[in-house]
Structure 1
Amino acid sequence: MRVLILGARGFIGASLADAFTAAGHTVVKAVRQPVAPDEIAIDFASDHDPADWGAFIAGVDVLINAVGIIVETAAQRFDVIHTAAPVALFEACVAAGTRAPRVIQISALGADRGDSSYFLTKRAADEALMSLPLDWQVLRPALVFGEEGQSARLFLTLASLPLLPLPGGGEQPLQPVHIDDLTDAALRLADPATPARQCIELAGPAPLTLRDILLVYRRALGLPPTGQFAIPTPLMAIAAAIADRIPGALFNHENWRMLQAGNTCAPDALAAATRLLGHAPRSIERFIAPERSADLRRRALDSWHGLLLRVALAIIWFVTAIVSAGAYPQADSLALLARVGLAGVPAFVALYGAAALDFAFGVATLFRPGRRLWLAQAGLVLAYTAIIAFALPEFLVHPFGPITKNLAVLAILIVLHSREVSS
């Protein structure tokens, strides 16, 4: 079959493209910026007229809409991406008449009952499709686990932390499904022998709390048991409200509301999905294969190790700036500079200029990290160390080790620089 997959660069879309290709089908990938021969250009942000889609669906046997966003931006709105463009696409399929492809809409578990903008716009597209005279299939997966999935990477990162953070206590019921079960379900729904006009909810075999999911992932990563701490619901609400004001943030008040509500599948719906697959969806304990454990553990740890180093480094620069600018007695600072050969106005310029530079390095460390920044900081640390070692040698043998601790700072900078090079 000739299969057109919209959103083929996304996690789910790319997985579907790989699965249909492996099954021997001809896959055409619809993306915003095509770069390969099997890709074509589409834009859900602007293609809202059925006439925009007629040429794309010609000769297509199966059309899969896997386009979706989790967070709105100025350029991508839920009502446009989830509803307006897909409905125009579905209407174009109706206009194709007997040549219309079978349409598979990748929706979301909870779209039929959720009240968030994400769910409401998904539901609107689902209902529009189900009202049309087409061979349609609506697939509503739960939270999808896959190594390249954004939510999976986030959960694995949380599971790898020294202490498990539990938003709102971690009692929210979830029923994640593995990406391989989703692609298998889509392959079966695309089969002409499978009855059309089905709405399938796809989830794991049993609900688990967020706490249990993180504990399972931690064991699967080969990490030892650790403590847990609950993040109070009011604090999560405040964090979500702040995140609402940060463009592109992956967490906001709607995501928090959806997590609080949970995401599970009714037993009869799960039974229907099991019949479609021909087997029960895999359990969460089987999501991470033993041979993948070490690599996923490394990736999970890497995801927050770099941030930890940057935060620690930024704190060093900020504290140094504050101490230099006034927390340390100015007269004592000027006396030290006099021993380096600076007095009068040059000493004041050096003192407060260095404080300003230290503060700027702290800000850049948090918001503008990069190889040049790490090299500049390493150069400054080495210069400070050389000057102090020459002019103030007593600090080399100071019991608090103010100069020898620069070795740890340089080690952090080397690690951060090497991470930039290898990424």
Structure 2
Amino acid sequence: MPVAVEDRGGGAVALMLASLFLLGTWPVLLTLLERRGRLPQHTYLDYSITNLLAAVLMAVAFGQARDSRPDFFTQLTQMQDNWPSVVIAMAGGLALSLGNLVSQYAWAFAGLSVTNVICSSMTVVLGTTINYFLDGRINRAKKLFPGVVCFLVAVFLGAAVHSSNAKDDEQKLSMKSADIELSSEFSDEAKLLPAPEESKNGSGGDYSASNEAKPGTAEFIIQVEERRSIKVFGSSKLLGLGLVFLAGACFSLFSPAINLATNDQWRALRKGVPHLVVYTAFFYFSVSCFVLGACLNVWLLYHPMAGVPASTAGAYARDWNGRHWALLAGLLCGFGNGFQFMGGQAAGYAAADAVQALPLVSTFWGVILFGEYRRSSRKTFLLLFSMLSMFIIAVAVLMASAGHRKGFDTNAKFIVTRLHRS
């Protein structure tokens, strides 16, 4: 039996935390594939399929009403009445899709941690402020806006971390270029991360620790560049930050769009027309996200950028190397977004933006899997620690600001058994 999360504690917070973990993990899988050399166009097309699948599964499984409100399937047949909300939801999906596409390249140019920090901070600073007023100020302003300020500080700290780390890498390469030259044998045999297919075939066992560069060294940086699909050497620092800020601007719009689509604060619907349930809005949101992402990446197959090789639809269909990770990333992102919207419908979308602390998760994976910030300067580590501290404070404050939506309806039903009671 579905459980309605009707307060600012219990189930709503649990869903926000689950969303935080899922949304912080899926970028890591896409970054892992890019660093293994898989074309980003192939990866994003796979990701888009399961991202849409997650929305369909949630709508079909959870969107059946248990009261007088229309369910998911009923609302699909009422587009002639609720089309204004449908358009708003689909606009949010377009913003998210464009942001995800841009961030896929930003991860390569600026790094996983810094990209997610700045994007998430912009999402909170802009999106949370919009959601606060759309939700009728149900969140506690005395706690909400100090949290927003912490995210804003994290934006500047994230930019400083990126700049400092880039200088560290330049110094490593300049010091090594004078007296270390990688042999062709080393370059050909060195591995950053053995691909799953190589491990299964046993070929990965031929590589010893002696021909694997240590994370944070100049050799490691060169190996990453040689193997990855998006080439970043020689690019401007401003290009990476420009991509990051563009992605952040897109991300700041999708949550307010879902808020408007489900609560109709602009009174776009005719009197008596039920609001979209959150599952229906999420479905239309994901459909537009899929369409834009698929169209743009099919075009990028034949007109690539950032040094990525050209490809074809046939080559994409035959590329099964790492496809399961891309498909899993789509599911994680889809369910993560769905849980965020559910928590927002129950406790306020401004408080639900606390899931934008996802860089805490991404940074953990980035350090463990990709060796980010290994052998960096003391200045870089100090900036990184300060940035993460701001996030920890911000997420706690934003969750504490959660309120209770007046006239709460059953838009936010979830099959998370007895979350509220437990």
User: Which structure dedicates a bigger proportion of its chain to helix?
Assistant: 2
- Which structure has the bigger radius of gyration? 1
**TM bucket, shorter chain:** under 0.3
Q: Which has the higher strand share?
A: 1
The alignment's TM-score, normalised by the length of structure 2, stands at 0.25
Give TM-score scaled by structure 1 length.
Answer: 0.25
